[in-house]
Amino acid sequence: MIFLKTSAELEVIRANGVILGQAHAEVAKIIKPGVTTKELDKVAFEFIKDNGGHPSFLNYNVSGKKFPASLCISINDVVVHGIPSHYQLKDGEIVSIDCGVFKNGFHADSAYTYAIGDVKEDTLKLLRATKNSLYLAIEQAVFGKRVGDIGFAIQNYCEDLGFTIVRELVGHGVGKSLHEKPEVANYGKRGDGPKLKENMVIAIEPMVNEGKKAIHQENDGWTIRTQDRKPSAHYEHTVAVKKGKADILTTFKFIEEAISKSEYIVNI
Protein backbone atom coordinates (compact mmCIF):
# COMPACT_ATOMS: atom_id res chain seq x y z
CA MET A 1 0.00 0.00 0.00
CA ILE A 2 1.37 3.40 -1.00
CA PHE A 3 0.24 6.16 1.39
CA LEU A 4 -0.50 9.65 0.08
CA LYS A 5 0.18 12.42 2.59
CA THR A 6 -2.00 15.37 3.51
CA SER A 7 -0.52 18.85 3.24
CA ALA A 8 -0.37 19.02 7.05
CA GLU A 9 1.64 15.78 7.07
CA LEU A 10 4.01 17.17 4.44
CA GLU A 11 4.67 20.15 6.73
CA VAL A 12 5.49 17.80 9.62
CA ILE A 13 8.00 15.97 7.42
CA ARG A 14 9.44 19.28 6.18
CA ALA A 15 9.90 20.50 9.78
CA ASN A 16 11.65 17.21 10.60
CA GLY A 17 13.76 17.77 7.49
CA VAL A 18 14.99 21.08 8.93
CA ILE A 19 16.04 19.42 12.22
CA LEU A 20 17.65 16.67 10.17
CA GLY A 21 19.56 19.12 7.96
CA GLN A 22 20.77 20.99 11.03
CA ALA A 23 21.82 17.72 12.70
CA HIS A 24 23.86 16.87 9.59
CA ALA A 25 25.46 20.33 9.74
CA GLU A 26 26.39 19.90 13.43
CA VAL A 27 28.17 16.70 12.39
CA ALA A 28 29.84 18.38 9.38
CA LYS A 29 31.22 21.11 11.66
CA ILE A 30 33.35 18.57 13.55
CA ILE A 31 34.43 16.40 10.60
CA LYS A 32 38.22 16.43 10.46
CA PRO A 33 41.11 13.95 10.50
CA GLY A 34 41.31 12.31 13.93
CA VAL A 35 37.66 12.59 14.92
CA THR A 36 36.05 9.24 15.69
CA THR A 37 32.85 8.19 14.02
CA LYS A 38 31.34 7.63 17.49
CA GLU A 39 31.95 11.32 18.27
CA LEU A 40 30.02 12.26 15.11
CA ASP A 41 27.19 9.97 16.17
CA LYS A 42 26.98 11.52 19.63
CA VAL A 43 26.61 15.03 18.17
CA ALA A 44 23.73 13.93 15.93
CA PHE A 45 21.99 12.03 18.74
CA GLU A 46 22.16 15.00 21.12
CA PHE A 47 21.06 17.55 18.53
CA ILE A 48 18.03 15.50 17.50
CA LYS A 49 17.03 14.79 21.12
CA ASP A 50 17.51 18.48 22.08
CA ASN A 51 15.06 19.34 19.28
CA GLY A 52 12.38 16.95 20.46
CA GLY A 53 13.00 14.26 17.88
CA HIS A 54 14.14 10.66 17.88
CA PRO A 55 16.92 9.39 15.58
CA SER A 56 15.08 7.11 13.14
CA PHE A 57 17.94 4.61 12.83
CA LEU A 58 18.63 4.12 16.55
CA ASN A 59 17.41 0.62 17.45
CA TYR A 60 15.98 0.23 13.92
CA ASN A 61 14.97 -3.41 13.87
CA VAL A 62 15.73 -5.75 10.98
CA SER A 63 14.61 -9.30 11.75
CA GLY A 64 15.41 -9.02 15.43
CA LYS A 65 18.75 -7.19 15.19
CA LYS A 66 18.78 -3.54 16.15
CA PHE A 67 20.96 -0.83 14.63
CA PRO A 68 23.05 0.53 17.54
CA ALA A 69 23.48 4.21 16.53
CA SER A 70 21.83 7.40 15.28
CA LEU A 71 23.98 7.66 12.15
CA CYS A 72 25.06 5.24 9.48
CA ILE A 73 28.67 6.29 8.80
CA SER A 74 30.14 4.68 5.71
CA ILE A 75 33.79 5.33 4.84
CA ASN A 76 35.46 4.89 1.42
CA ASP A 77 34.46 1.43 0.13
CA VAL A 78 31.59 1.10 2.60
CA VAL A 79 28.42 1.73 0.61
CA VAL A 80 25.94 2.20 3.48
CA HIS A 81 25.01 1.07 7.00
CA GLY A 82 28.47 1.52 8.56
CA ILE A 83 28.32 1.46 12.38
CA PRO A 84 29.94 4.34 14.32
CA SER A 85 33.04 3.18 16.20
CA HIS A 86 36.38 4.35 17.61
CA TYR A 87 37.75 4.56 14.03
CA GLN A 88 39.37 7.94 13.39
CA LEU A 89 38.71 9.68 10.06
CA LYS A 90 41.76 10.33 7.89
CA ASP A 91 42.80 12.90 5.30
CA GLY A 92 41.95 11.60 1.80
CA GLU A 93 38.88 9.63 2.87
CA ILE A 94 35.27 10.01 1.83
CA VAL A 95 32.56 9.54 4.45
CA SER A 96 28.86 9.14 3.87
CA ILE A 97 26.58 10.14 6.73
CA ASP A 98 22.99 8.90 6.65
CA CYS A 99 20.49 10.07 9.25
CA GLY A 100 16.77 10.14 9.95
CA VAL A 101 14.58 12.17 12.30
CA PHE A 102 11.27 10.93 13.73
CA LYS A 103 9.03 13.54 15.34
CA ASN A 104 5.27 14.15 15.53
CA GLY A 105 4.57 10.74 14.00
CA PHE A 106 6.66 11.03 10.81
CA HIS A 107 10.18 10.40 9.57
CA ALA A 108 12.53 12.40 7.35
CA ASP A 109 15.60 10.72 5.83
CA SER A 110 18.69 12.18 4.14
CA ALA A 111 22.34 11.40 3.43
CA TYR A 112 25.43 13.30 2.30
CA THR A 113 28.94 12.17 1.34
CA TYR A 114 31.89 14.35 2.40
CA ALA A 115 35.41 14.44 0.95
CA ILE A 116 38.06 15.05 3.61
CA GLY A 117 41.25 16.79 2.51
CA ASP A 118 43.29 15.36 -0.34
CA VAL A 119 40.77 13.04 -2.04
CA LYS A 120 41.67 11.55 -5.47
CA GLU A 121 40.17 13.35 -8.46
CA ASP A 122 38.37 10.21 -9.71
CA THR A 123 36.66 9.88 -6.35
CA LEU A 124 35.64 13.55 -6.34
CA LYS A 125 34.10 12.89 -9.77
CA LEU A 126 32.17 9.99 -8.24
CA LEU A 127 30.80 12.28 -5.52
CA ARG A 128 29.79 14.97 -8.04
CA ALA A 129 28.14 12.40 -10.31
CA THR A 130 26.18 10.81 -7.46
CA LYS A 131 24.98 14.17 -6.17
CA ASN A 132 24.04 15.39 -9.67
CA SER A 133 22.15 12.15 -10.28
CA LEU A 134 20.10 12.75 -7.14
CA TYR A 135 18.85 16.06 -8.55
CA LEU A 136 18.22 14.56 -12.01
CA ALA A 137 16.15 11.88 -10.27
CA ILE A 138 14.22 14.47 -8.27
CA GLU A 139 13.26 16.15 -11.58
CA GLN A 140 11.49 12.89 -12.44
CA ALA A 141 9.55 12.74 -9.13
CA VAL A 142 6.47 14.39 -10.61
CA PHE A 143 2.87 13.40 -11.24
CA GLY A 144 2.52 11.38 -14.44
CA LYS A 145 5.95 9.74 -14.26
CA ARG A 146 6.69 6.29 -12.88
CA VAL A 147 9.21 4.96 -10.37
CA GLY A 148 11.29 3.54 -13.24
CA ASP A 149 11.84 7.06 -14.61
CA ILE A 150 13.65 7.93 -11.37
CA GLY A 151 15.89 4.87 -11.56
CA PHE A 152 16.57 5.42 -15.24
CA ALA A 153 17.69 9.02 -14.62
CA ILE A 154 20.26 7.91 -12.03
CA GLN A 155 21.51 4.88 -13.92
CA ASN A 156 21.76 6.56 -17.31
CA TYR A 157 23.70 9.55 -15.97
CA CYS A 158 26.10 7.63 -13.72
CA GLU A 159 26.82 4.75 -16.08
CA ASP A 160 27.59 7.21 -18.91
CA LEU A 161 30.34 8.59 -16.66
CA GLY A 162 31.74 5.07 -16.11
CA PHE A 163 30.34 4.49 -12.63
CA THR A 164 28.10 1.60 -11.52
CA ILE A 165 24.83 1.37 -9.60
CA VAL A 166 24.29 -0.78 -6.52
CA ARG A 167 21.27 -3.06 -7.13
CA GLU A 168 20.57 -4.58 -3.73
CA LEU A 169 19.76 -1.34 -1.87
CA VAL A 170 17.07 1.08 -2.94
CA GLY A 171 15.17 4.23 -2.02
CA HIS A 172 11.72 3.95 -0.47
CA GLY A 173 8.50 5.60 0.59
CA VAL A 174 8.78 7.65 3.82
CA GLY A 175 6.05 8.44 6.34
CA LYS A 176 4.87 7.00 9.63
CA SER A 177 7.37 4.23 8.90
CA LEU A 178 10.94 4.93 7.84
CA HIS A 179 10.62 2.46 4.98
CA GLU A 180 7.30 2.35 3.15
CA LYS A 181 6.20 1.35 -0.33
CA PRO A 182 7.18 1.88 -3.06
CA GLU A 183 10.76 0.71 -3.49
CA VAL A 184 12.67 3.30 -5.50
CA ALA A 185 15.53 1.57 -7.30
CA ASN A 186 18.51 3.55 -8.56
CA TYR A 187 18.30 1.77 -11.90
CA GLY A 188 15.40 1.04 -14.20
CA LYS A 189 13.52 1.61 -17.40
CA ARG A 190 11.60 4.68 -18.44
CA GLY A 191 7.85 4.25 -18.00
CA ASP A 192 8.26 1.18 -15.77
CA GLY A 193 6.96 0.53 -12.26
CA PRO A 194 4.29 2.17 -10.07
CA LYS A 195 2.79 5.50 -11.15
CA LEU A 196 3.86 8.54 -9.16
CA LYS A 197 0.92 10.28 -7.53
CA GLU A 198 0.71 13.72 -6.00
CA ASN A 199 1.72 13.72 -2.28
CA MET A 200 3.55 10.42 -2.35
CA VAL A 201 6.67 10.94 -0.22
CA ILE A 202 9.78 9.06 -1.27
CA ALA A 203 13.43 8.94 -0.29
CA ILE A 204 15.60 9.03 -3.40
CA GLU A 205 19.09 7.80 -2.56
CA PRO A 206 21.58 6.93 -5.31
CA MET A 207 24.35 4.57 -4.14
CA VAL A 208 27.02 4.69 -6.82
CA ASN A 209 30.34 2.83 -7.06
CA GLU A 210 33.62 3.92 -8.63
CA GLY A 211 34.46 0.31 -9.59
CA LYS A 212 32.15 -2.66 -10.07
CA LYS A 213 28.59 -2.82 -8.77
CA ALA A 214 28.95 -5.95 -6.61
CA ILE A 215 28.69 -5.55 -2.84
CA HIS A 216 28.79 -7.77 0.23
CA GLN A 217 27.68 -7.54 3.83
CA GLU A 218 30.22 -7.74 6.65
CA ASN A 219 29.92 -10.14 9.56
CA ASP A 220 28.55 -7.38 11.81
CA GLY A 221 25.25 -7.88 9.97
CA TRP A 222 25.06 -4.25 8.82
CA THR A 223 28.08 -2.84 7.00
CA ILE A 224 27.75 -3.05 3.20
CA ARG A 225 31.04 -2.85 1.31
CA THR A 226 32.01 -2.93 -2.38
CA GLN A 227 33.46 -6.28 -3.35
CA ASP A 228 36.35 -4.69 -5.25
CA ARG A 229 37.05 -2.33 -2.32
CA LYS A 230 36.71 0.75 -4.53
CA PRO A 231 34.91 3.84 -3.18
CA SER A 232 31.13 4.27 -3.10
CA ALA A 233 29.08 7.46 -2.69
CA HIS A 234 25.57 8.12 -1.35
CA TYR A 235 23.32 11.18 -1.32
CA GLU A 236 19.66 11.22 -0.28
CA HIS A 237 16.70 13.56 -0.06
CA THR A 238 13.13 12.92 1.06
CA VAL A 239 10.79 14.47 -1.55
CA ALA A 240 7.08 14.87 -2.13
CA VAL A 241 5.77 14.08 -5.61
CA LYS A 242 3.92 17.06 -7.07
CA LYS A 243 2.51 18.18 -10.41
CA GLY A 244 5.24 19.89 -12.43
CA LYS A 245 8.03 19.96 -9.83
CA ALA A 246 8.90 17.78 -6.84
CA ASP A 247 8.94 19.35 -3.39
CA ILE A 248 12.22 18.57 -1.58
CA LEU A 249 11.35 18.14 2.12
CA THR A 250 14.89 17.65 3.44
CA THR A 251 17.64 20.20 2.99
CA PHE A 252 21.40 20.39 2.36
CA LYS A 253 21.42 24.15 3.03
CA PHE A 254 22.87 23.85 6.54
CA ILE A 255 25.35 21.17 5.45
CA GLU A 256 26.62 23.35 2.62
CA GLU A 257 27.02 26.36 4.93
CA ALA A 258 29.10 24.15 7.26
CA ILE A 259 31.21 22.88 4.34
CA SER A 260 31.90 26.42 3.14
CA LYS A 261 33.37 27.22 6.58
CA SER A 262 35.21 23.91 7.05
CA GLU A 263 39.01 23.74 6.78
CA TYR A 264 38.84 19.99 6.24
CA ILE A 265 35.89 19.20 3.95
CA VAL A 266 36.42 19.72 0.22
CA ASN A 267 33.63 21.64 -1.53
CA ILE A 268 33.02 19.23 -4.43
For binding to Mg ion (CB under 5 A), which residues are involved? 98, 109, 111, 203, 205, 236
CA distances from 146 to 16, 155, 189, 192, 197 (A): 26, 15, 9, 6, 9
Cβ neighbours around 259 below 10 Å, total? 21
| Min CB(15)–Mg ion separation in Å | 18
Which C-beta is closer to Mg ion: that of 193 or that of 264? 193
Residue 215, helix vs strand vs coil: strand
CA 30 to the chain's CA centroid: 19
Which C-beta is closer to Mg ion: that of 62 or that of 122? 62
| Min CB(80)–Mg ion separation in Å | 8
Which C-beta is closer to Mg ion: that of 20 or that of 259? 20
Q: For residue 22, report the phi and psi dihedrals to the nearest 5 degrees.
A: -70, -35
Q: Quick one: which of 131, 138, 137, 139 has its CA closest to 114?
A: 131
User: Is the preceding peptide bond at 55 cis, omega within 30 degrees of 0?
Assistant: no
Distance of alpha carbon 143 from alpha carbon 197, whole angstroms: 5
Which C-beta is closer to Mg ion: that of 41 or that of 205? 205
Which C-beta is closer to Mg ion: that of 41 or that of 236? 236
| Min CB(214)–Mg ion separation in Å | 21
Looking at the DSSP bridge assignments, the partners of residue 113 are 96
| Min CB(204)–Mg ion separation in Å | 9
**Contacts of 194 by beta carbon, 8 Å cutoff, 6+ apart:** 2, 146, 147, 182
Per DSSP, the residues of 87-120 read PBP-TT-EEEEEEEEEETTEEEEEEEEEEESS--
| Min CB(72)–Mg ion separation in Å | 7
Which C-beta is closer to Mg ion: that of 111 or that of 166? 111
| Min CB(212)–Mg ion separation in Å | 23
